[in-house]
Structure 1
Amino acid sequence: MGDLRKPQHPQPQHIQPQHLQPQKHEVPHAEPTPVSKAYWDLCAQGQLAFQRCADCGFINAPATEVCRDCLGTRLSWEASTGRGTLYSWTVVWRPVTPTFEVPYAPAIVEMDEGFHVVTNLIGVEPDRIEAGMPVQAEFHEVGDGLVLPYFRPYIAPAGR
């Protein structure tokens, strides 16, 4: 059995290797709710954030009205470093809807603070994606004012 982290099927011959890019057009998405509105407003300002419970310290992500750990209601927003580690991903060559430009790589990132974000990768060739890769959030508008956090490989400055 080969390395399961590497693609088992070669990319289509008509598509040259390239760095993954943010979507350029409006994409299907859930509408912000009263609970999630602060998250989306902060994304529009270029800040990734999460909720922390003032009663027990538990991180609640995605946003919620009640702490998932202690059922407390004193939740506040905190800024994330925007850095994390790639946990899981796939590369899509045939989108479910023509709205999406291929290739794109939906991913799960484990943030340095301990919560997970479902996102897309950018700035890397599909065959260079690796589990455990350090990544950094970067924000892009994808139509109608919606700003999404994408993640690209992160290389720490020398000396850190």
Structure 2
Amino acid sequence: MFHRSSILMQILFILCTLLLLVSCRPYEIRKSGGAESLELSRPSQFQMDVYSRPSRRGTVQRIRSKRKRSVSTPCWNLQSKHVGSIDLNDPLTKITFYRSPECQGAPVRVLQGTSTKQLNIKARSVKVVRIRPIYFSTPEDSS
């Protein structure tokens, strides 16, 4: 009886996980020209909050991208040299912090694939690069 109940629990866990994945739907399936592709749905405007203290405390600087679907690599000078934590709306970004203004010199910290992060670093500027989505196609599409 114990063995049967553990198998049922595993099946229940797998079904709940699949239901959760289907209900969240972070991916969109697009069909164009006979090829299906899987793309992560992303916000149209980049937003980042830089906090001077950890755990989203202290003074906050709100950084917003003006252009929709921007591919450029904008640089922002920070108001406070203390960076305690950041909060992003797009986890598919590469964020580079620099000790000098105008994003020059060697980077202090480089982050990829995060939405909220505790940092505790000193930086004067930040550069953001949006990572392009990856498209998948089935083997039948290549022929």
When normalised by structure 2's length, the TM-score is: 0.27
CA radius of gyration, larger in: 2
Structure with higher helix content: 2
More strand by share: 2
TM-score, normalisation: structure 1: 0.25
